[in-house]
Structures are given as structure tokens and as C-alpha cells.
Amino acid sequence: MDRSTVKMFDDEKVFDSRIDTFRASALHFQEFGKYTNAVPNGHPNSQFMKFWKEEMRRCIEGYNIGYDWIPGYFYFYLNYSPIFIVEALAEGSEEGRVEGKRFKSFPKFWDGDYYYYHYLDEAERAGSHGSVLKSRGRGYSFKGGSMLTRNYFLIPGSKSYAMAGEWEYLLSDGLLNKAWDIMDFLDENTPWAKRRQFKNSEKHKRASYEKNDGNGVKIETGYKSEIIGVSLKDNPDKARGKRGKLILWEEAGKFPGLLKAWQVARPSMEQGKVTFGLMIAFGTGGTEDANFEALEELFYYPKAYNVHPVASGNIWDKGRENTDCGFFMPVNINYEFCYDEFGNSNSEKAIAWEEKERKIVKENSSNATAYDQYLAEKPFNPQEAVMRWQGTIFPVNDLKNQLSELEIHKKKYVDSAWVGRLGVDGETGDIGWNLDPDARPIMGFPIRDNKNLEGCPVLYEMPYRNNEGKIPNGMYIAGTDPYDHDESQTTSLGSTFVMNVLTERVVAEYTGRPATADEYYENVRRLLMFYNAECNYENALRGMFNYFKKVNSLHLLADTPEVLVDREMMSSTMMSRKKGTPATAAINKWARELIKQWLITPTPEDEDFMNLQKIRCIPLIKELIYWNKDGNFDRVSALGMVLILKQERVQHVVETEKKIKSIASDSFWDRPFKKNYGYNRNIFGT
């Protein structure tokens, strides 16, 4: 059988008893306590040597049994990698759980593993890498440990790396510990045993030994293959120069610097069009303080990072059908009690069982996040796997649905925006929009470095004008999260949003960091003039105020909202700056609450849609999805400034209505009208 592309989870493919041929060596060991009955006699053509040469070939090249074929990594895993497996002690029922035991044995053949290893083989043959989202409890640390060990024993001079953000993910029941267990087993039960005289620690093992060269000089010789653990510990540059046969990124969903580290490591695994090493990032959702931005990026945008997309396309996420993605292992594949003796998954039965489990968790948990965490750990689709269940107050699932809508229909919602520059008419002073083919809005999030951050205005809707060609006063408001410094070693940006107060839609955005802060402020000023908008801004930095004062444009900056005093978020003495809003913890918290409420509020023109479903700014949605108290979210801050100003306008209307009602209730206004009105003391008939 040729090594053709395998369709993921093909419903037409059914495994039968012939799959035992793939793990015949493991079955022989289980029965006899050894891999072959042949006796070693030192002869290179003995049956013993022929057996082990063939086993080595299968572990490297794979094994073809005529009707099917498996890759070498999979063969090694099935036959030479004892793992802990779980077995029930009683027959399972539809209604309840049963007692079981956990013991060490060889892996069973599972269809999910078959597809996984074929995906990795396709990636390696294509000169690409792999990204994996998965359900918890599918043995991927064992699989990773097996891959590391296979290279160590069978590929001379190879280096295989296990990388993670923290050592605990490698050593505490992690990749390295599992690799060392497999290593001990092979040293004892195969002729592949290796000495480790020079490197033999819990973090690094090298197959070599000391030898005298005959002149009294001790040298290191041997296979010199290695398994090396690396904890990046918030330092992605530690991934640089790791020229390996294999790099495994453990707990990639809890790895803040993963994407940068991935890009740093790629040149060590690739040279021009040639890729000589395989990298695999894999992770499970539901982890506390998970940081899925990078793994999600690798999964959904694989080609941008030389990650191999599955041949079937995304068959899991509704609305993303046939789009590129990495490998996904859903909870309904290889689900306990839901696969037969040959490893064929009964997906429908698994889904039914899992839906019952989800219902139990949802109805019986007092913890508001327990259900979301459960879904992330045992997902039906990738969106559940990367769901943020902790640290955010925004409606993440709804936002992700909108993100998918925008990405799938990008041409309609995103590419149709006006992207260019705002220029000044030399004669009239009016602001006009100009097409600029070199203008590049900042569409990525998170920002990976501080390069190419100039940005440009993006207009989703042109300003409304009345019959006289004028923009009504008060129709548009804006919010800005500014910056002051012309140069920065951070990725912090200035960000401004403009909102139509009648439709409550975001109609324009400008996010960026041009060469100077004054250039940014001037672009903001032009944007405000273009929409006849007043802007609320974070006033901790004085640069924006000073610039607008210098160019006689302070009227475009909103006065410090009185609603903040009314809500006891600031004292009247803090109103001294007169313009903008201080970014205190209490005010920022309230701003986020306003954002949350605005997102889920039905749109004024159609109650079947929420405001969030009218957002056309992809990076804003991503910031809202990934918001946490420790990150840098400039667009979220700017949107908060808009909504505080909107709340001030609402408060002003309410206060005005109260005054009108108070005046209307005064008996004076019920007196008869006198014709001899005028500016004299007798106007009131006194």
C-alpha cells in the first residue's frame, strides 16, 4: 500500500482482526515474556539478528501488511512502548459508572491513534510540522514519550527535544518521565540497550560511553543520540539553535510564549525548502490559566507557520467546513466503552454518553465555570477545546461564533471596509478619505513583536450626513487608549474607536504606533473631525491633551464624565484635568462591565441580533475573547472609553428629562399667558 493521504476519521474505514498483525511483536512478548524465541548466537545472519533488523526497519520505515500500512512511529508505539491503560472490572451500563483498574501493558490499536500517526507522517513527508488539539485522557504524553525514545534507540546522532513552559509538565508525570520508563523497558528487553556515561540526568540523556583511544586519551563514543528537556520559562529565545530530529511542545495550551518560540525554533529545523526535523505542538483545554492564543493560531492558520493541515479540512467546527486546520482528537473518538475489540470508535454512542455527562455537570455544579471547564477538557469540536473558561467576563462563545462568521465571510464584512488615509483639504480645511494602497491596518492579535505597527484608519461605515450635507452633532462618539512615547520596546498600541450612538455600531477604528506619538494624535484628530465626533480618552498620559491644545482642537476631547463622580468612582477634586477619564482600577472594571452589557444588548434596529454580531473588527473580537487582567488589550480599553462617554450622554439625557419634568410640575407654568410680556418687572403680574 502506498503512503497516500489518509482522510481523518473516515466513516467507511473499518478495522478488523488483521490489525493484530501490526502489533504481533507486542502480543508475542505478552505471551512469552520476550520478543522472539530465536536464540542469539552472534552470527549476523542468524534468525535472532534477522528478527531485530526487521523490527528496526519497521520502527523507522513503517509496516505494510498488504491491505493497510502504518508509520514507523506508530509501529514503535504499539510494540515497544508499554503504557498505563485502564480496564473495567465489570460490564458498563448506560446509566452509571463502573469500577476499573489501571495497569501497565502495551497500547491497544485505536482508530484515533491510526489517524494521528498518519497525520504526523504526512506532515513529515511534506516538510511541515504538526499542531494538535485534543480531548483529555487520550495518552498523548505516552505517545510523545514513545516518539522521543524511538529516535534515541534507532537513529544515531539524533537529538529529540521535549519543550514546555515549566519543568513540571515534562517531569511530573510528563513527557520525559514517560520516555525514561520506556527507555528502561527497552534496555532490559531488547538488544538496543544504550549506555549513558556522559549524560544521564532526569532532564537529559545521551547514548554514549567512554573509550580509550589507545594513547591514553579518553574519548566519548557510541550512538550519541539524545533526549533533551527544555523549560523555556518565559524565555522563547531558549528555543533557538535546537537542531533536532524532533521537537515536542508539551502543554502548548499553557504556553504564553509558544508562538514566538515556534518561530525562533523553525530555522533550526528548516533550511530553505528543506525541513529536516518535525515539530509538534499539542494541548488540552480546561487547564487553569490556559493561554490558547498561540496553539489556536497554529491550529486554525497552519500554513502561516508551516504546519500541515489535515487533508479532510475542518470537519468539526460548524461554519468552518473545509477550511484549513491542524489535527483534532474529539472526545467521541476512542471513548471508554464506545469502541470495539479492533479499535473502531462508536462515535454516536460516545456522543450520547457524553451529552448525559455534560447534563449532570451542568445541573449539579455550583461553580459557574465548572461546565465550561468540562467542555474544554472533553470537547466535541476545536472551538470547545480552546474555549476560555477562566479570567474573562465577556461572552466568549458568542464572540467566537462572530469571529468565525467574519473569517469565513471576510470578503463581505472585513475586506469591504475603507482602508487608507485621512487627508486635509488645503483650501477648506475639511477632512477627506483617500485611498492608499500602502496603508496596512493591524489585523493580528496578539502582536508578536514591535515591527510594522504603524497601522491606519479603517472605516466600516462612512459618516451620515443630513439634507444640508452636515453630520448631526452628537451622532458620533469616540474613545481612545493613547500612548506618549515615540519609541517602545513593547507591543502596546494607540487605539481609537468611533461609534454611531443611534445604531450603537462601531463605524471606524484606528489602531497603531506610527513613527511619532504626534503623528498618531494627528490621525486621531482627523478621524474625529471626519465623523464630527467627541472623544473620551484615558488621561493618565498628557501627550494627547497637549497635542490637541497645540492645534486648537480641545473641543474634540470630551470633558471628564460627571457620571464617574455620580457613581462615586472618583472625587470631584479628580475632575481637575477637565478632559478625559482616569484609568483607575474601579473605572476600568466598570468599563468592562459596560462592554459586556453592550455586547449582548440587542441592536436598536433588529432585536434578533446582539451588538457583538455587528462588530466587523477581527482583532477587537480576539482581544475580547482573550482578555485577562495580566495582558495588554488596547482595543478593549479604547472601547471602554467609548462606552463610558455613551453612558455620560445617557446620564445627561436622564438629568435633562428630570429638570424638564420638574419645571413642568411648577404651578407657575399653569398661569394664564399675558400678552404684555417683555423684559420688565411686571412680566409676572407683580
More confident residue, 559 or 102: 559
Which of 305-319, 389-403, 664-678 is the most confident on average?
305-319
68-72, 86-90, 241-245: range with lowest mean pLDDT: 86-90
How far is Cα 265 from Cα 232, in angstroms, rounded to an integer? 12
pTM for the predicted model, two decimal places: 0.75
- Find residue 535's DSSP bridge partners: 478, 557
Q: How far is CA 187 from CA 44, 200, 214, 225, in A?
A: 21, 14, 29, 15
Q: Which of 340, 153, 292 is nearest to 626 (CA)?
A: 292
Residue 574 DSSP SS3: helix
Q: Which residues contact 405 (CB under 8 A, 6 or more apart)?
A: 319, 413, 613
Q: Which of 245, 263, 256 is nearest to 292 (CA)?
A: 256
> How is residue 30 written as a grid cell?
505478552
Query: 331, 135 in Cβ contact below 8 A?
Result: yes
Q: Which of 293, 306, 309 is nearest to 403 (CA)?
A: 293
Confidence of residue 134 (pLDDT cuts 50, 70, 90): very high
**Which class is 113-385 in CATH?**
alpha beta
Count of CA atoms in the C-beta half-sphere (13 A) of 606: 8
How far is Cα 298 from Cα 309, in angstroms, rounded to an integer? 10
Task: Convert the pLDDT of each residue in 474-521 to its tens digit.
Answer: 999 999 999 877 655 566 899 999 999 999 999 999 999 998 999 999
Confidence of residue 598 (pLDDT cuts 50, 70, 90): very high
Q: What are phi and psi of 488, to 5 degrees?
A: -150, 145
Task: Convert the pLDDT of each residue in 633-666 to its tens digit.
Answer: 999 999 999 999 999 987 654 444 444 344 344 4
Confidence (pLDDT) at 278: 96
Q: Which of 652, 650, 645 is nearest to 539 (CA)?
A: 645
571 pLDDT higher than 70: no
Confidence of residue 38 (pLDDT cuts 50, 70, 90): very high
**Which class is 396-654 in CATH?**
alpha beta
13 pLDDT higher than 80: yes
Confidence (pLDDT) at 111: 95
User: Strands, E, within 579-663: which ranges?
Assistant: 602-603, 606-610
Share of the chain above pLDDT 70, in %: 88
As annotated, the residues of the chain forming the CATH 3.40.50.300 domain(s) are 113-385
207 pLDDT higher than 50: yes
Task: Convert the pLDDT of each residue in 106-120 to its tens digit.
Answer: 999 999 999 999 999
> How is residue 678 written as a grid cell?
417683555
Confidence (pLDDT) at 2: 54
Query: 472, 466 in Cβ contact below 8 A?
Result: yes
Confidence of residue 625 (pLDDT cuts 50, 70, 90): confident
224 pLDDT higher than 60: yes
Helices (H) and strands (E) in the chain, counts: 20, 25
Burial classification of residue 343, based on how many CB atoms lie within 10 Å of its CB (0-12 exposed, 13-18 middle, 19 or more buried)? middle
How far is Cα 347 from Cα 601, in angstroms, rounded to an integer? 38
Q: Which of 297, 265, 279 is nearest to 133 (CA)?
A: 297
Read off the DSSP letter of residue 559: B
Confidence (pLDDT) at 91: 60
Q: What is the mean pLDDT of the chain?
A: 86
**Residue type present at position 188:** E
Confidence (pLDDT) at 273: 87
Q: Is the peptide bond before 446 cis (omega within 30 degrees of 0)?
A: yes
Confidence (pLDDT) at 90: 63
As annotated, the residues of the chain forming the CATH 3.30.420.240 domain(s) are 396-654
Confidence of residue 574 (pLDDT cuts 50, 70, 90): low
Confidence of residue 567 (pLDDT cuts 50, 70, 90): confident
Task: Convert the pLDDT of each residue in 287-342 to its tens digit.
Answer: 655 567 788 889 999 999 999 999 999 999 887 888 899 999 999 999 888 999 99
668 pLDDT higher than 90: no
Average pLDDT, stretch 619-640? 89
Confidence (pLDDT) at 306: 96
Confidence (pLDDT) at 28: 97
Which of 28-32, 396-400, 604-608 is the most confident on average?
28-32
Which of 292-306, 433-447, 532-546 is the most confident on average?
532-546
Residue 474 DSSP SS3: coil
Give the full edge-to-edge strand order of the sheet including 327-329: 199-200, 204-206, 226-231, 159-164, 246-249, 278-284, 130-134, 327-329
16-20, 269-273, 276-280, 481-485: range with lowest mean pLDDT: 481-485
95 pLDDT higher than 90: no
